[in-house]
Amino acid sequence: MDSELTLVAALLIGFVGSTHCLGMCGGIAGALGSSAPKGSALTAASYAMAYNTGRITSYALFGAVVGFLGAVAGSGLDSQVWLGLLRVVTGLVMVGIGLYLLVNWSGLRRIEALGAGLWRHISPLARRLLPPRNQIQAFAVGGLWGWLPCGLVYTMLLTAAVSGSTLSGASVMIAFGLGTLPAMAGVTVAGNLLRKHMFKLRRAGGSLILAFGIWTLATPLWHALHTSHGMH
């Protein structure tokens, strides 16, 4: 599969999907800025980076695990069949995210319910660290908050799972996390100012991701149709 395109798409999804991330995690990100020692923008920025580094680290761990499991699951299949399946699943994920960004498709919210039970056990620990008193605690808060039930994260994990390897799975989630970084770090430092501008990118980004998804789907489907036609 086109790993470079997948990483670019993951980065773009993270960036334009930041409106969703701000709704899920924006409150805690903004609270980090207010909990930093007063009078130091540099310290507030360091809290933001520590929190987001922890969050992206947790994403990378998730991606590595599901990437490994996906690679094991596909090891017994014919390589061409497996590669075609990877592209189809990746394309469907991109189409779903594109529809969410364009028309607020509700499927992502249903996916969030999958992690609700686990989050009930993790959230008390995360809340005990609030407000963080130093950057190490901010990193820990970010690592724990990465487990927050989020349809966008869970959907990206499907892409990581079919990426083909442990490293590729981690890379997909790191790219996604880096895409969310400008908005998530910015809201810690600049509060709500960034939120208004991020919404302007939502439709344009959703259209582009939808196009990526359709293009990713087109090749294996065209190949399957052509092969079937040739057999007849």
Model pLDDT for residues 173-191, shown as the tens digit of each residue: 999 999 988 777 655 544 4
Q: Which two tokens stand for residue 194?
A: 């960034």
Q: How many domains does the chain divide into?
A: 1
pLDDT > 70 fraction of the chain, expressed in percent and rounded: 74
Beta strands in 80-205 (DSSP E): none
Residue 87 forms part of a structural domain: no
Residue 57 forms part of a structural domain: yes
In angstroms, how far is CA 62 from the centroid of its own chain? 11
Q: Could you tell me which residue, 58 or 159, shows the higher pLDDT?
A: 58
Residue 197 forms part of a structural domain: yes
Average pLDDT over residues 62-71: 94
Residue 163 CA to residue 26 CA, distance in Å, equals: 29
Q: Which two tokens stand for residue 211?
A: 């196009």
Residue 227 forms part of a structural domain: no
Domain that holds residue 47: 3-74+108-202
Predicted local confidence at residue 20, as pLDDT: 61
Model pLDDT for residues 2-45, shown as the tens digit of each residue: 677 678 888 888 887 776 655 555 555 555 555 555 556 677 77
Average pLDDT over residues 115-134: 82
**Three-class secondary structure of residue 173 per DSSP:** helix
Predicted local confidence at residue 67, as pLDDT: 94
Residue 68 CA to residue 73 CA, distance in Å, equals: 9
Residue 93 forms part of a structural domain: no
Residue 29 forms part of a structural domain: yes
Q: Are 135 and 46 in contact (CB under 8 A)?
A: yes
Average pLDDT over residues 119-127: 83
**Residue 183 class from Cβ within 10 Å (0-12 exposed, 13-18 middle, 19+ buried)?**
buried
Say whether pLDDT at 140 is over 80. Answer: yes
Say whether pLDDT at 65 is over 50. Answer: yes
Residue 35 forms part of a structural domain: yes
Residue 228 forms part of a structural domain: no
Which pTM does this prediction carry? 0.78
Q: Are 97 and 202 in contact (CB under 8 A)?
A: no
